[in-house]
Every structure is written in structure tokens, then in C-alpha cells.
Structure 1
């Protein structure tokens, strides 16, 4: 068994000020954010206050959208190089953090383009990275993964130990501004990470311990949070659950529901967390047939796999209407079967089984 998580993770209210000196990882920062969330949560203002206190120069790149593209990270790379930035501070949800990771590698290796990121043998250095999450979902603040959208529209993740953030600050205050929809889809993204972690062939005793706690916290506090969005205690529990789930997939990777969900996000516009979570019960049922020990944690927490499905349904995860053309189903099934996620999923999967998963969504 191997457990490796080199990120220094600080947790707590106002934690960034308690350990403010550790955000200074160079002489000039590129702050990578989306257009709004870093500002409205207060995280950006807190970071700028600290940088100004230490007389650290910075440039703010705030053009990262949902599902970051090659164009976005290339622009960030060029800004970082032109302004001689020597470390990255990424603030926001998974998209700004993933984009920040890509920019950290590309700015340190100017000869590379985004396609080169997917082969870790192409680089051996990256700029230092600080991450400050403002959502409770991706866990990118503690993983060696980043997901980009390629020019052909496909989402694809790259992995390198170089993009484990050096320091991350987890403050539930920054999550309190999420609306109900974002709270749900990010939390079930974290749930997907934890559940896929226990189902993965790469699961270990330690990853299962962390996943169990993450799933338990989401089971108890997500429904409460959806009914009381500004309750800081509930936000705290979901923030912890998200980082725990991130630590889990840093060990196990993700499995089939992620690959199935990517197609729904890309082609049907359903947000990543929800698009992944809708497949969790279906894949869990298949795994239960061949490796029932893998689903024990889910049964312990929810009582049964049927109850797990009901939990997601009651949250509104399945509240959408969707249809697929035969051409789409052929494309989706082939892309899923070619993905690396299948290898780490217990059981045997062919085109017929993949089509069954997608057809389960048609009402």
C-alpha cells in the first residue's frame, strides 16, 4: 500500500491569516480565478491583503470559466511568463484550481503546449502552487490531477506529482456564498470521489477510512445545508468531506461514473458533479454483483444500495429531462470504453452495459 499526499493543508476559519507567511512562495504571483467567485467570497481580498503586507507583487488573471479550455490556460501561461511570475495562487472551484495547476507547469516549461501536459515525462518542474477552494466539491486542493477541455470538446485529466499544491487553505467562510444548485452539484462531486474511491480496484485501508468519513458527512450534512445555505457549521462539514474525498482520489483515482458523466457534461450541459453522481448507483449495483465487499461501506451508511439511489433522487440529482440519439449513444459508449476509468472499475463492461447505464436516465 502507498499513501502519498504532500500538500500542506490548513483548515479553519480565517486560517489564511494564521499562516499567512506560507502563502509567499516567490517574488511575484499570478492569481488565477474565475470572474466572480473569488471576489464575492472574500478570498481574493484576503489574499491581496496578505500579498500587500509582504510587498509581494501580483497580477490577477480572472478569465477561467467552467471546464477550463486550452485557450484559457495558454493565456494564463503567457501572462505569467510576460510578467515574470514565479508562483501561482489559484482561488475558486475546481476550474480555477485545475487551470492554475496547468499554468504552473506551462509557465515553468515555456516550450510546452497543453497537449504535452498529458505525458508527465515531458516536464520535471512546475511553479509552486497555492490553492484556496471556494466550493466544496472537487478536492483539487489536495490532488495531483487537473482536468482540461480539449479543442475537440472532450474533457481529459492529466496527473503529475508536480501539481500537488504546495499549500492549501480550507476556510468554510469562503463556501457560504454558494447557491443551492452549486451547493448540490459540488457536494455530489465530492460524494462521487469518495464513493468511486471505495469502489476502485486501487482502494486501500486508509483510503476507505477517509472515504467512509466523507460519505457519512455528506449523507448527514448535505440535506441540512441545502435547507440552510448560510449555516457555517454545515459548510464546515461539507468542506472537510470534500477535501477528504480529494485525498481519497489522490490515492485511488476515479472510475467509470466519471467517464460516463463527462459525456453528459460536454454534450448535454449538465454540471460535472451531478453528471457523475447520477451514475453512482448503477455502477455500484454492477460492482456489488462481483465484489460485494466493495459496496459494504455504502450499505453501512445508507442501509442498502436502493436507499443510496433514493438519497440522490430526493436531493434532486435526477431532476432533468434527457434524450440521446443513436449516434450519440454510439459515440459515448465508444469513448467510455476507451477511457482509463474502465480499467480500475471492478467487473466487466461492454458496449451493451454502457448503453444500459445511459438508457437508465431516459424517463
Structure 2
């Protein structure tokens, strides 16, 4: 067993209606002026207003920012930082999916430092100041950002900036399954696949440890059976509970490991085509898992059986069984068959290959991946299930 270390420095509470305890946590963090970061969809769903009332009833002044964009840019973070400074905010509450939480975490990191977000871009750069405390309340079961030490923000050149730092971790995560029951089916499907892919890719990472493996296995065990049920009926509170807990566990593995090729290749798809992060991952995942089969190390069989927990355990396993399962899972969830169905072609292929190479993810993938491999992975994902797929060498 190789040397490794881990820590989980965070308060995590799970339960139906747990969001009502928000005021207690603001008090514990010695907050006096609160910034609530959310998005227009949650305003429409009434969730933002509900959280505002909870904060107000607890006696805290609150200013609300709801202009978070999908896959937010650094310019959005700059707007939030300006509010923090002008309103003298000392506690940030993030309500939403990955976009809201990453925006809030990024703005809280910059805080009163006088710096720009770009100054912190990278992996574990020194941060000499203490960020503003963050309470994260997820309303999707997908990104796991409520328990991760990183954010992903788009820069002016459409590149996805990754900041990985222990000081990015929210102090509190409140997991309320009721808050994800209003998700549209398509969002539930793509974000749910994102959570599943976090667990599987971290399980396959060469940074995986016995601790991260145990967390990833439990995440897969929860998400695998629950995801189709949850997409079919978001009001199923048991399925919602398994999804939000599974997503958070998968997020914890992201703080311990790094994901694989699907994530590295998905970032340019979001940057160039504005494909939602979870959907981009879901499209790439069967292709990258097929590519990594040579470096299986016996884990594919475990993944297959964990995801199909409601079925009898399979001893006679072949790699194709897992790949076929993932392709059919996307189909069952109503996701596109391939990228070409989404109108994505080869016009930005070379730029995406260059862009994808900028991440450190490649250093820890199960299988060495060359730029030519990346080209094939993109092309196979574009044309999966069509005659053109067979032409890709």
C-alpha cells in the first residue's frame, strides 16, 4: 500500500428540512452580514426566497445575488466580490448547483484580499489570508462542489480555470433532499451522471487510496440504482436522498483524488459549445471507459456490480458489459446518443485538443493518453452508434 493522507474538515448535515437550521450555522461562523448567491432558476422555483426568509427570520441582514450564469465566468465572480466589499459581508451562503457554489466559493476566496481570481489560478498556491466562510446548500445532485476544495471558472479566452486549494472548502454543507425535487428531468439526468462519473473516475485514478475507494464505492452503490428512479420521479424522496448523499460522497472523492479523461475532455466542450458540464461528461464517459479498459486493475467488475446493486452479483464479467451498461444508461435517462446529435462537429477539434491538455488531470489517468488518443476519443464520442464511428482508427 502506498503512502497517503486525507482529512475532511467540514460540518456536513443531511436531512429533509435541514435547510431550516441555516441560521444556527451562520451564528456558529460568527456571521453578521450575509451574502446569498443563487441563480434565476431557483428564484423562479421559490427556493431562493425560502432561504432569504430563513436568514431574515434568524435576524441577519442579507443581500442576494442571483445573476449566476451556467458555467460562470471570472467577470461574474468579480461582480460578487464587489458586493462583498461594498456590503461588508462576512458570511456567504451558496444555494444552487455547481455554478452557484463555484461562484460563491471563488468570490469568498478573493474576498477582501484586493486580488483578482486569476491570481489564485492553479493547484495549491499559497493563500495568505482567510477566505470568507461559506455555507453550501446544493440544489442538484451532481457537482459535489459543497464538499470540494476546487472551483472551475471560465476565463476571458473560454478556458476553464481550475483553482484547487484547501481554503476553497466550504465550512458547512447542508444536504436537504427536498431541495432537489424540483429539478427538471434533463438536469437531474446530466447532473446525476456527473456525480456518478466523479465516483467512478476517482475510483480509477492512480491517486486512489483505500479511504477514497471506500467512499467511491458507497457513492456508486447509492447513485447506480437511484439515478433512473430519480429522473423518472423527482418527488421520490428516497431516491432524492440517495442521490444527494451519493453526490456528496462522490464530491469527497474529488477532494482526495482527481478525475480522468472524461472530465479533462469535457471542459473544452463547455468552453466552445456551452455544453453543460454534466452532459459533456456523460457523452464522453462510455468512450473514455472503453479506452481505459486496458488499465482496469480488476475494478471494472466491481463498478459494474455496484451500479447494478438491485441485480444479482455477476461473476462472469466482460468489459463490454460495463460499456454497454453506460451507453444504455444514457439512453434510459433521455440523454443524446452522441455529440453530433447535439450539433457538435469537428470545426473546433484541434483547438479543443490543445485546450484539454492544459489540465493536470492527465498525469493521474489510468492510461497514458496522447494528443492523438484525445482526437480519437472526441471523434468516437461525436459519432458513437453511427457508421462513421467504425471509420475512426
TM-score by length of 2: 0.86
Q: Deviations over 1:195-243 (max 9, x none)?
A: 1111111111121122122222222111112222222221111111111
Aligned residue number for residue 311 of structure 2 = none
Aligned residue number for residue 185 of structure 2 = 180
Aligned residue number for residue 310 of structure 1 = 328
**Structure 1 unaligned regions, length at least 5:** none
Cα separation, 2, equivalents of 1:11 and 1:240 = 8
Aligned residue number for residue 82 of structure 1 = 86
Aligned residue number for residue 223 of structure 1 = 228
1:192 aligns with 2:194: no
Cα separation, 1, equivalents of 2:24 and 2:344 = 52
Cα separation, 1, equivalents of 2:44 and 2:134 = 19
Computed over aligned residues only, the root mean square deviation of the Cα atoms, in angstroms, reads 1.9
| Aligned 8 A contact 1:37 1:92 in 2 | yes
Cα separation, 1, equivalents of 2:302 and 2:112 = 42
Once the two structures are superposed, the pairs formed by residues 63-102 of structure 1 within 5 Å of their partners are: 63-102=67-106
Aligned residue number for residue 324 of structure 1 = 345
Specify which of 125, 128, 137 is matched with residue 130 of structure 2: 125
Aligned length: 360
Specify which of 356, 359, 370 is matched with residue 336 of structure 1: 356
**Structure 2 unaligned regions, length at least 5:** 309-313, 315-320, 387-393
Aligned residue number for residue 21 of structure 1 = 24
Cα 1:323–1:163 change in 2 (3 A) is closer
Cα separation, 1, equivalents of 2:39 and 2:258 = 26
Secondary structure of 1:220's match? Answer: helix
Shift of 1:80: 0.7
Secondary structure of 2:365's match? Answer: coil
Shift of 1:117: 2.0
| Aligned 8 A contact 2:38 2:67 in 1 | yes
Cα 1:314–1:55 change in 2 (3 A) is closer
Specify which of 4, 8, 24 is matched with residue 5 of structure 1: 8
| Aligned 8 A contact 1:38 1:92 in 2 | no
Secondary structure of 2:137's match? Answer: strand
TM-score by length of 1: 0.93
Q: Deviations over 1:5-25 (max 9, x none)?
A: 212110001113356411333
| Aligned 8 A contact 2:131 2:167 in 1 | yes
